[in-house]
Homo-oligomer: A and B are copies of this chain.
Amino acid sequence: MATITLPRVVPSPAEDAAALLKAFQGWGTDEQAVISILAHRDATQRKQIALEYEHEYSESLIQRLQSELTGDLERAVYHWMLGPAERQAAMAHAATECVQERYAVVVEIACATNSSAELVSVKQAYHVLYRRSLEEDVAARATGNLRSLLLALVSTYRYDGDDNVDAELARSEAKIVHEAVRNSAGAAGGRHDHEELIRVLGTRSKAQLRATFSCFKDQDEHRRSVTKALPRGADDPTGYLRALRAAVRCVADPTKYFAKVLRNATREAAGTDEDSLTRVVVLHAEKDDMGAICGAFQKRASCTLQQAIAKETSGDYSSFLLALLGS
């Protein structure tokens, strides 16, 4: 269930564009007016407003928003205004600039909720925006096992169906995962390649991979899940083990994965991670899975996601996120 809410009677794009212009004019920007409009329009409506605004006032709405807003609110509204493919392409592009720290963005786009066709749309948008491929930027900026893993994940055009799971294959490939878990420390240090594991993760359908993970647990002497068995990679300077664990978790249970990202992002002790918070909320607020992510968050945290955001963030940025979450 998506969390954004639309007004019962939606103003025309021309009315919204005029109201936005009004919010930009005079002393300071009326951020609340901007939020009250844009946080309550769906992707098609936002696109129409942007077209109408550009047509009527001969300037780009997105550029005007960027000049009127600042900080976390500006970044959040900017991403919110892009279409889903462009938004993910922009996020992926920024992440490739420092992929060793921001591998999670690439992993999520490649493995979490996009269908294979949606992933192609993101890569297509990347071509249009940057006149190069996501693959070449990932390949040129990551190294070692991290490069092999990320490149395999973003390149592949997986089979999307869940109608062709091969139980025998799952059993034999679960052994590959076990073997890789055993030599993970070496893989972090670059002494082991994880070629077979990366081939499996990078080519099999998600349904097949889930069957493999399930066999892994059955075969494990301590009945650990792959997620539990994989090292957390806290001391892995290459980022590979953390990216690997993120990929497995994105495939195994994306809802739980995103709920955990949000829990980490709103953890008081570590300081709020606005980038991750914005990314997950903006990407999912109008997708079917946001409701479930909120549910999974609340189940493990001592409060609702809305309460956590209200506590950890402030001002217009906070209002914007809360509006996207239906408050």
A interface residues, Cβ below 8 angstroms from B: 116-117, 120, 123-124, 127, 131-136, 139-140, 147, 151-152, 155-161, 163-164, 199, 202-205
A120 touches B157 (CB 8 A): yes
Residues of chain B within 8 A (CB-CB) of A159 are: 127, 131-133, 136
Quote the shortest CB–CB distance from A133 to chain B (angstroms).
5
A132 touches B199 (CB 8 A): no
Assembly CA distance A17 to B95 (angstroms) = 56
Give the dominant DSSP class at A's interface. Answer: helix
B205 touches A139 (CB 8 A): no
CB within 8 Å for A157 and B155 given contacts A133-B205, A204-B136:
yes
Report which of B134, B139, B161, B164 forms a contact with A199, defined as CB distance below 8 A.
Answer: B139
Copies in the complex: 2
Report which of B127, B132, B163, B202 forms a contact with A135, defined as CB distance below 8 A.
Answer: B202
Report which of B135, B199, B204 forms a contact with A156, defined as CB distance below 8 A.
Answer: B135
Quote the shortest CB–CB distance from A164 to chain B (angstroms).
4
CB within 8 Å for A156 and B155 given contacts A131-B164, A164-B132:
yes
CB within 8 Å for A160 and B127 given contacts A120-B120, A152-B155:
yes
CB within 8 Å for A161 and B131 given contacts A139-B203, A155-B152, A156-B155:
yes
Assembly CA distance A155 to B124 (angstroms) = 14
B139 touches A158 (CB 8 A): no
**A131-B159, A134-B157, A151-B203 given; 17 more Cβ-contact pairs under 8 Å:** A127-B159, A131-B161, A131-B163, A132-B205, A133-B157, A133-B158, A133-B203, A133-B205, A135-B202, A135-B203, A136-B203, A139-B199, A139-B202, A140-B199, A151-B152, A155-B155, A155-B156
Nearest neighbor of A132 in chain B, beta-carbon distance? B159
Residues of chain B within 8 A (CB-CB) of A120 are: 120, 157
Quote the shortest CB–CB distance from A196 to chain B (angstroms).
10
Assembly CA distance A152 to B204 (angstroms) = 15
Assembly CA distance A124 to B160 (angstroms) = 10
Quote the shortest CB–CB distance from A199 to chain B (angstroms).
5
Assembly CA distance A131 to B165 (angstroms) = 10
Nearest neighbor of A158 in chain B, beta-carbon distance? B133
Residues of chain B within 8 A (CB-CB) of A161 are: 127, 131
